[in-house]
């Protein structure tokens, strides 16, 4: 059962058409560092930041009387366990992705961590969840 403080925002490559903006869900405790990195290193613009909670399916089922009255967006959690040949460690990489784009983004995300002689995906765990609209 999980509740995670999370920021929903939109990103846009500097100079790109606003129609090409993409949604991101980032845990609140990582958001400022993530935002700095995205703006300074990748030259993305970050806008429409909204804080709320992400809950997993178990939390929603445990308290249906609370959550049935709220406006929820389906957002899946993916946790990819990546083995690094360089460090010889397995590290988890966790992302939150809107359900409507999940399959497409999962494929791209997994490909980033499946580089021969550099990284290898060892395990993938997925969890259904919801971002509470404010």
* pTM: predicted TM-score of the whole model, two decimal places: 0.90
Integer Cα distance of 133 and 52 in angstroms: 7
What are the structural domain ranges in the chain?
3-132
Question: 119 and 84 in contact (C-beta within 8 Å)?
Answer: yes
Cβ 107 vs Cβ 34: under 8 Å:
no
How many degrees, rounded to 5, is the angle at CA 54 between CA 49 and CA 58? Answer: 170
State residue 92's pLDDT score: 95
> Residue 18, class by beta-carbon neighbours within 10 Å (0-12 exposed, 13-18 middle, 19+ buried)?
exposed
The predicted-structure confidence for 72-112, as pLDDT tens digits, reads as follows 999 999 999 999 988 999 999 999 999 999 999 999 999 98
Residues, the chain, total? 134
């Amino acid at each position: 059962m999980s509740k995670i403080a999370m920021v929903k925002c939109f990103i846009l490559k500097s100079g790109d058409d606003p129609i090409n903006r993409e949604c991101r869900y980032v845990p609140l405790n990582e958001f400022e560092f993530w935002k700095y990195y995205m703006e300074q290193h990748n030259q993305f613009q970050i806008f429409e930041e909204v804080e709320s909670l992400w809950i997993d399916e178990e939390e929603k089922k445990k308290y249906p009387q609370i959550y049935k009255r709220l406006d929820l967006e389906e957002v899946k959690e993916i946790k990819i366990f990546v083995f690094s040949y360089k460090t010889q460690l397995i590290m988890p990489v966790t992302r939150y992705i809107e359900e409507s784009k999940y399959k497409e983004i999962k494929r791209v995300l997994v490909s980033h961590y499946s580089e021969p002689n550099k990284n290898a995906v060892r395990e993938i765990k997925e969890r259904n969840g919801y971002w509470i609209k404010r």
